[in-house]
Amino acid sequence: MKHLKVLGVSAGQGALLFPFKENLVANIEPRAVFHTKNEEQWKLNFGDIPFLRNELPENIKADVIISSPDCGASSIMRLSKVKQLGKPEDNKSLNLVIQAINKYRPKVFLLENLPRLVTLLPKEFFEIQVPGYKLIYHQRSVVDFGNSQVSRKRLIIIGIKIKSKSYLNRFDNIFRVDTPVSSRKLLECSYFKENNDNYMPPLNKILAMYDYRALPEKKNLTVKQIKKLWRTDFKDEKKWPIKTAKMSTLPGVYRLENDNPPLPLSPADRQFRPDGYPLGIKDFKNIMGFPDEYKIYMDKDNYLYWLNKARYTIAKGSVYQVGKWFKKCILS
């Protein structure tokens, strides 16, 4: 294992790469949302390992490629906004993954995405684009990998170089099906405490909420007001009611239930803890399965950094446990 060279391509901020940190040679990430001017987030977990934007280096070797390209073309969010799904074959991050596989010809690659991806592409798309690989397709809930987001379904494509006979039978049926952990248990260790490892939006911050006619503010409420409403007017509600002529609830705004597993995290949603507080960094990390060793950079004086960068680092893409499963398969 120590001689294995692992390359990330369109792998975000490294949820899948972190188990391979000692073997990682670089991550090539074309999406601007994962980058900052000084790359503070990447350096916090991966130090001086190169974090590139578009170029495929000439002077590296890759035994394994790990990727999680854009799933926006096949997402429900896109469908709700533009009324049609996109064309994955036109996606820059997916095309970069295909280019990298053909350039470096790794022994094994992993491509993680939404299950709908395979319905939007021609049946033989990957067989044609990356010839010479045995392809294994897994469409499963992340619970099968040890996470607790029951309804978070993902597509895992494993490509094994046909000449790499030692890997051919390692990725078929190695799954650890755990009982999902309840929100109560996942969040009990991350209760609202400000410290170096946690961040939660200050109670005086304004969140854009849809019309609630019992309040004069109509739309913009402080976190403190929202917390109070969850515990009073909306104490029996799981989704935020908006009571307008067009909709009865606000899409993407919900409160987790203590005794049920968490709903899938999305960086664009407004998720709240059972106690009414918005989810903070440690809550996001616990739900997505990150270990304590994985650090999240946070500019605590800049609330917009949390909204526009830090949440995306944690919630956009794969869960950490898929990377752990992949490493276990390689070592088996």
Q: Are strands 153-161 and 206-208 parallel, antiparallel or unpaired?
A: unpaired
Is the Cα dihedral 307, 308, 311, 315 positive or negative? positive
| 50-59, 218-227, 232-241: segment of lowest average pLDDT | 218-227
- List, for residues 86-124, the tens digit of each pLDDT value: 566 678 899 999 999 999 999 999 999 999 888 888 878
* Coil, helix or strand at residue 117: helix
pLDDT (tens digit, 9 = 90+) per residue, 183-217? Answer: 999 987 655 555 556 777 778 887 777 656 666 55
Per-residue pLDDT of 120-146, as tens digits, reads 888 789 999 999 999 999 999 999 999
The pLDDT value given to residue 226: 86
Tokens of residue 98, six digits: 């295909």
Q: Is the pLDDT of residue 268 over 90?
A: no
pLDDT given for residue 80 in this prediction:
40
Cα separation of 47 and 45, whole Å?
6
Nearest to 161 by CA among 50, 273, 64: 64
Neighbours of 92 (CB within 10 A): 13
Average pLDDT, the chain: 84
Q: Where in the chain is the domain with CATH 3.40.50.150?
A: 6-179+317-331
pLDDT at 75: 44
Q: Are 232 and 214 in contact (CB under 8 A)?
A: no
- If one compares 285 and 80, the residue with the highest pLDDT of the two is 285
**In which band, very low, low, confident or very high, does the pLDDT at 84 lie, cut at 50, 70 and 90?**
very low
pLDDT of residue 62: 97
pLDDT at residue 243 is higher than 80: no
Pairing of strands 249-255, 270-272: parallel
Give the C-alpha separation, 28 to 260, whole Å. Answer: 37
Work out the percent of the chain whose per-residue pLDDT is above 90.
45
What's the whole-number mean pLDDT along residues 226-230?
Answer: 88
Of 204, 220, 11, which is closest to residue 111 (Cα–Cα)?
Answer: 11
Q: What is the maximum alpha-carbon separation in the chain?
A: 69
pLDDT attached to residue 312: 84
pTM: 0.88
Where b means 16+ CB within 10 Å and e means fewer, 300-331 reads: eeeeebbeebbbbbbbbbbbbbbbbbbbebbe
How many angstroms separate the first and last alpha carbons of the chain? 11
Asked whether the beta carbons of 154 and 329 are under 8 A apart, the reply is: no
Reported as a single tens digit per residue, the pLDDT across 24-69 is 999 999 999 899 889 999 999 999 999 999 889 998 999 999 999 9
Q: Which of 284, 325, 314, 332 is nearest to 19 (CA)?
A: 325
Apex 12 CA angle, 35 and 330, nearest 5: 145
Does the pLDDT at position 247 exceed 70? no
Sequence-distant (6+) residues with CB within 8 A of 128 are: 122
Residues 157, 158, 164, CA angle at the centre, nearest 5°? Answer: 160
The pLDDT assigned to 161 comes to: 93
The answer to whether 250 touches 265, Cβ cutoff 8 Å, is: no
- Distance between alpha carbon 294 and the CA centroid of its chain, in Å? 14
User: How high is the pLDDT of residue 6?
Assistant: 98
Adjacent-strand bridge partners of 67:
9, 111
Distance between CA atoms of residues 158 and 283, nearest Å: 30
Sign for the CA dihedral angle at 5, 152, 157, 90 comes to: negative
How high is the pLDDT of residue 289?
Answer: 93
Six token digits for residue 323:
């990377």
Quick one: pLDDT at residue 319? 92
Q: Which CATH architecture has domain 6-179+317-331?
A: 3-Layer(aba) Sandwich (3.40)
The yes-or-no verdict on residue 300 having pLDDT over 80 is no
- In this prediction, residue 78 carries a pLDDT of 42
pLDDT for the residue numbered 222: 84
| DSSP-H helix ranges across the chain | 40-46, 76-82, 92-104, 117-120, 125-129, 183-187, 223-231, 281-288, 303-305, 311-315, 320-331
Q: What was the pLDDT predicted at 190? A: 59
Which of 6-20, 237-251, 306-320 shows the lowest per-residue confidence on average (mean pLDDT)? 237-251
- Cα atoms found within 13 Å of the Cα of residue 179, Cβ hemisphere only: 4
Q: Mean pLDDT, to the nearest integer, of 206-235? A: 76
pLDDT of res. 170: 81
